[in-house]
Structure 1
Amino acid sequence: MKSQEKVVRSRMTKRLGAALSVALIGSTLAATGSQAAPKPEAGAPKMGGTVTMLIDGSIAGHCFQNALPGGPLGASRSIYESLFERTRTGKYVGYLAESGTSTDNKTWTIKLRPGIKYSNGEAFDATSVKQNLDIGRGAITTYPSTGIGINSNILTVDVVDPLTVRVVLERADNDFLGLMYRAGRYVMRAPAQIANRTTCSTNPIGTGPFMLQSFTPDEQVVVKNPNYWRKDGKGRQLPYLDKIEFIVVKEASQRAASVRRGTADAGFFVQGDATFTNDLAKRKSQVTGYKSTQTAWGQWVPNQNKAGSPFKFQNCRLAAAHSMDWKGYNRVRLKGNGDYSGSIVGKSNPMFTTKGAPKYNLKLAREYLAKCNTDLGSAGPMKITLYADTSTQSQNNTKFIQKSMEKAGILFNAPFIGESALLVSKIYKGGGNDFDFAEGTPAEGATPAYVIPFFVSKAFPTGTTNPIAATPLGRGYNTVIALGNHSDTKVDDLIYAAQAELDPKLAKKKWQAATEYIQATGMAIPAVHGGFQVFVNNKSKLRGIGTLRMPSGDRSDIVETKGFEWTGIWKG
């Protein structure tokens, strides 16, 4: 049993994928902005055409273990769709599902839309949904992933009839649909893709508007799905485009130059690309920019149980928290493109409150540092290590925060520099983070669902009745995403109380109480929040951006974590 758990843990680095590495590098890799209003289009959409889209990172793969960040996620989401999506107003509505309902927030009934097929002709039905959900929660052990920890509240998934699935939770969850959305990452895969473990990552088969033509980690080509189930409001078959080429160009300067010159139709950009997106935004005669809402939440999480780390002491955590100049960081390093709300989440999230939140204050930082060093005794004075990836930009971002903290008298070892994959392997691992901080988390979204998994003490609480908890996968993934590596069950109690509350007004107060406690105890330090941007060359004449309504009749954000929704876009 122990050897099996060891194998599970040794695989976790690969299974976490690039999404987590993007989130952790100093809160530097997510973009900014607000939604631009879609422009009404003249004339009927044109069928056909090819678009070249430049993205920022390699496409690790398309199976359950491949957690993808923004640009690569967009390439994957051209093929896949999710049960639920988020509207422009922050509401969760059915997409592949018609509805998700519950009377007690504990037993959920998911009704599926009829007549949907995967691109290979297989039926999309309740049996397929159950298979996807059971793999995601670890009831089927074929594809271990961090979803096992995130889905730890799911007890059972049952097929009621061909178009109905019943999901029973251990604890009531008023944001369960948000968990099913998960920033657009919880997609449905075809049985044929799942059946082949060798090709699952490289042979994506979904219900989406496009299907795979060719794939490498650096270039993916998708073509129109002939079995696609959607039509536009005038009854025209979707999608309009014939083909999209997703090409990885990691250097933001090259992406920006290609979009500006028209050698690419569009490019995806993140917050760390601020120098280049600011320049593109000035070139309105050449390009048009679209910004997401800011729902990629920035926070640094002190590692409390790392051997030798000072952060088991609250005074040490608060010394660090009050020494970080995030407003200055946003101004200098991010050119003002980030958003510092003073909370671990932004104002759109029910968890938002600045109560208990530490602010940049060197006087207070020094006072807490003196208490910290007293707490440390012979192990003092407090001395910590930050990390950065191998890029100059990441190292300079880390250096800014280190210099800020040094002004309070905090001592540092030399930063640890490594490739993103190596950093991920040292942070998200069985046994806990190797570093003094998790410098950012994957937390995102306008609701708590994809925030709270990173703050609870463990995925499966003590006394759980979930049988997955006792399995090697359950044990292996129990604490990997609990980034603070803490044992304070008061955090869990506050979060679970908010999660179970049926009254939305009372739930908001309880969510804020959880945030206040997390902030006041220094368990998570508010950093800079952001979003994403897509720039389009004007000569490409991309039309319909952000105008197609979802099956529910609602509009989605123009730019999401994945970038554009390509289903309703055409070339004029």
Structure 2
Amino acid sequence: MATVAGVGMISVLLAGCGTNSTSGSTGSAPSAGGTSSSEKPVEGGSITVDMAQAVPDLDPAIEFDTVSTEVVSQVYQQLVTYSGSTNNITGELAQSWDVSNDGKTYTFHLRKGVTFSNGDPLTSQDFVYEIERVLDKNLKPKPSPGNQFFMDITGAQAYYNGQAKTISGISTPDNDTLVIHLDKPEQFFLKIMAMPFASAVDPAFEKKVGNAALDTTQAMGTGPFEVQKNTQSQVVLVKNPHYWQKDSSGNQLPYLNKVTININNNGQLAALHWEQGQTALMSPWLIGGDGIPSAAYPTIMNSPKYKSDVVTQPMSSIEYVGLNMKPTLNGQPNPLSNIKVRQAIEYAFQDSQIVKINNGAVKPLNQPLPNTLEGYVSKLDPSAQYSYNLTKAKQLLKEAGYPNGLTLDMWNENTDNAKKQDQAFQAMMKQIGITVKIHEVTWKDFLTKAMSGTAQVYESGWQQDFPDASDFLNTLFNSNQIAAGNNMNNYSNAQVDEWLNQAEYSTDQQQRDELYGKVINKVMSDAAWVPYYQNVGYFSIQPWLHGVVPSDIVEDQFGKMWVDPGHGSN
């Protein structure tokens, strides 16, 4: 998602003109870390949490990172979402939907009586407006990185190219109905519609405050919370007085009055705050990676006092080092355009060191896909595998024309764990004569640099946007994603593009698996990435906090959480 500080098999297209209906209420979320979920939720109170980085983007049309999504998901909603901690699609702002026999037409029926937090009524046109914003390549302050997800809507490409003033494949027969026509069936289209890019946005409010404000300080959604404050040091969310959703007992959501998010990139301090009871929750969505800072992992997981308050959730989330293949960077020849240099880096990398730095909280990874997803390759081709071999690495550098080594610039965010990993990578490369200059900057500045395609070496991660191998492989390695800023290492291979494009629309799962297997083996044999590790999610939950739903795809659902009486009375 999505870049991190985007499980299971793909859902089959609905056959015929089936209808999927959901009620207007939601069951009480299962309690984790506190008392049993059968206990009646308490209305009121507040919580405080730490988050590793400030929010780069508050506009759902622009945000495409887990930090931003954690906040955006509390304020904005989509037509559909995921049920609990599963990958099953359920209605959110859509009461129901129909799919045509050929799988190319979706008709969404909106819930009645939903309003934005300022009282403006929700209409089907609001979704059209948002998709138009996503497909506006001149959107300010910057274009949406999500436009590629919607290009299969009929007329989307023409609208994006400026050849049409409207998207011909989207219509609104009335204020409560939205019809979307696709050029070809797309099995995971509903999962795309669950992404923040497809949020309901109030056109009148956006036109009043402007795109720049909507991306930084102003927000207007239908979600459980409003943004009271968003700065580089703190985000404050307060209850949306017009929120439409109730729990299964008829109680109005959200239960909490306020959520205060303090920006804190010191992982050890964040862990201390939680251990002392100052913060309610640590999660992968807040702290990044696995949710427990690596330095605190042994203390928390080996302590009877704390371990019982931790819930583990497999995550479809990976970390990696990207190697930019662009022939020239900043006007200078780029050594990484030489495959032998990249392969030398692979052979000089020792994943056991990175796992050790994380105190064993992560799992080794050898490819750009987590093992939680369909399409994962259990046995890579020999050409796609790299063992720790310094002799071979040095020989490859010599063959590449760098017998005396070379210098590379590496970019990363400025968290304590990132610094440890950067230093470890730097030391590994030094053994074969590669000098790594480290640039550690704020999360926002890192995203700007990396997504511009000018970061020579960078450590990043990817959390699934929707549970499908396409979200990792097509988004990160298709050459058509270079301009969108998703293919940040400028990887371009015509054969890989062909495989990716074929798999994108295939309805044969076995064929898709085979195609994605070819992509993974080719990408790894080309040494496009150095896979670091696969994350495991640890949700550390105070005993007095209830209603937490650990998930590897849906962010922390503050709207369903509640606290014991008298705890946080704001």
TM-score tier, shorter chain, comes to 0.7 to 0.9
Could you tell me which residue of structure 2 aligns to residue 145 of structure 1?
144
Which residue number corresponds to residue 518 of structure 1?
523
2:317 paired residue number: 296
How many angstroms apart in 2 are the aligned matches of 1:481 and 1:417? 20
Map of 1:316 onto structure 2: 341
Among residues 41, 45, 57, which one is paired with 1:45 in the alignment? 41
Q: Is residue 2:398 matched to residue 1:386?
A: no
Identity, in percent, stands at 17
Aligned to 1:495: 500
Other structure's SS at 1:22 match: coil
Is the Cα contact below 8 Å between 2:53 and 2:443 reproduced in 1? no
Please list, as runs of the form range in 1=range in 2, the aligned pairs for 1:270-281 lying within 5 A after superposition: 270-271=288-289, 273-281=293-301
Match of 2:447, as an amino acid? Answer: V
Alignment-mate amino acid for residue 309 of structure 2: T
Q: Is the 8 A contact 1:20 1:442 kept in 2?
A: yes
2:202 alignment partner, one of 190, 193, 199: 190
**Alignment partners' CA distance in 1, 2:371 and 2:454:** 29
Deviation per residue, 1:489-545 (Å, 9 max, x gap): 21111111111101233323322222222222223332212154442333xx22232
Tell me which amino acid in the other structure corresponds to 2:459: E
Q: Which runs of 4+ in 1 moved over 6 A?
A: 35-39
d(CA) in 1 for partners of 2:370, 2:255: 36
Gap change, CA 1:21 and 1:281, over 3 Å in 2: closer
Compute the TM-score of the two structures, normalised by the length of structure 1.
0.78
The verdict on how the C-alpha distance between 1:490 and 1:380 changes in structure 2, with shifts beyond 3 A counting, is: farther
RMSD: 3.3
**Alignment-derived partner of residue 7 in structure 1:** none
- Higher strand fraction: Structure 1 or Structure 2? 2
User: Are the aligned partners of 2:324 and 2:336 in contact in 1 as well (CA < 8 Å)?
Assistant: yes
- Number of aligned residues: 506
How far apart are the structure 2 equivalents of 1:93 and 1:111? 13
**Match in the other structure for 1:199:** 213
CA distance in structure 1 between the aligned counterparts of 2:433 and 2:190, rounded to whole angstroms:
43
Q: Given residue 363 of structure 2, which amino acid in structure 1 is its aligned partner?
A: D
The answer as to whether partners of 2:78 and 2:199 remain within 8 angstroms in 1 is yes
Question: Quick check: 2:346–2:530 contact (8 Å CA) kept in 1?
Answer: yes
Q: Which one of the candidate residues 62, 74, 78 is aligned to 1:78?
A: 74
Match of 1:571 in 2: 563
Distance 1:378 1:225, change over 3 A: closer
Residue 26 of structure 2 is matched in structure 1 by: none
Q: Any conservation in 1 of the 2:58–2:217 contact (CA below 8 Å)?
A: yes
Unaligned runs of 5+ in 2: 7-30, 157-166, 565-570
Cα offset for 1:36? 6.9
Distance 2:178 2:259 in 1: 33
CA distance in 1, matches of 2:560, 2:134: 29
Q: What is the aligned counterpart of 1:113 among 88, 111, 118?
A: 111
Q: Distance in 2 between matches of 1:114 and 1:571?
A: 30
User: Retained in 2: the 8 A contact 1:175–1:449?
Assistant: no
Does the CA-based 8 Å contact 1:345-1:352 persist in structure 2? yes
Q: Matched residues in 1 for 2:412 and 2:227: separation?
A: 35
Task: Say whether 1:22 aligns with 2:5.
Answer: yes
**Equivalent pair of 1:443/1:454 in contact (CA under 8 Å):** no
Correspondent of 2:546 among 543, 547, 554: 543
Q: Separation in 2 of the partners of 1:425 and 1:199?
A: 18
1:261 aligned to 276, 292, 298, which one?
276
Residue number among 446, 469, 481 corresponding to 1:448 in the alignment: 469
How many angstroms does 1:455 deviate by?
1.0
Alignment match of 1:342 (pick from 361, 366, 369): 366
Deviations 1:89-117 (A, max 9, x none): 43333322334746555554444333322
Letter in 2 for 1:399: Q
Q: Deviations over 1:220-263 (max 9, x none)?
A: 33332232222211222222222222222332222222222223
How far is the alpha carbon of 1:334 from its aligned partner?
A: 0.7
How far residue 449 of structure 1 moved from its aligned partner, in angstroms, is 4.2
- Structure 2 residue 357 is matched with structure 1 residue 333: yes
Q: Which is worse superposed, 388-397 or 506-515? A: 388-397
The CA deviation at 1:440 is: 2.5
Structure 2 vs 1, CA of residues 264 and 423 (structure 1 numbering), >3 Å: closer, same or farther?
closer
Among 387, 404, 408, the alignment partner of 1:361 is 387
Give the secondary-structure state (helix, strand or coil) at the position aligned to 2:178.
strand
Instruction: Verify the 8 A CA contact 1:52 1:265 in the aligned structure 2.
Output: yes
1:150 CA displacement = 4.9
Shift of 1:304: 1.3
For residue 52 of structure 1, give the secondary structure of its aligned residue in structure 2.
Answer: strand
CA offset digits 1:64-96 (Å, max 9, x no partner): 465264455333322222333234343333322
Question: C-alpha separation between the residues in 1 aligned to 2:421 and 2:454?
Answer: 21
**Pairs within 5 Å for 1:155-234:** 155=156, 156=167, 157-161=169-173, 162-169=175-182, 172-182=185-195, 186-195=198-207, 196-197=209-210, 199-200=213-214, 201-234=216-249
When residues 164 and 510 of structure 1 are mapped into structure 2, their CA distance, relative to the original with a 3 A threshold, is farther
Q: Deviations over 1:106-136 (max 9, x none)?
A: 5544443333221222222220001111111
Change over 3 Å in CA distance of 1:329–1:457 after alignment to 2:
same
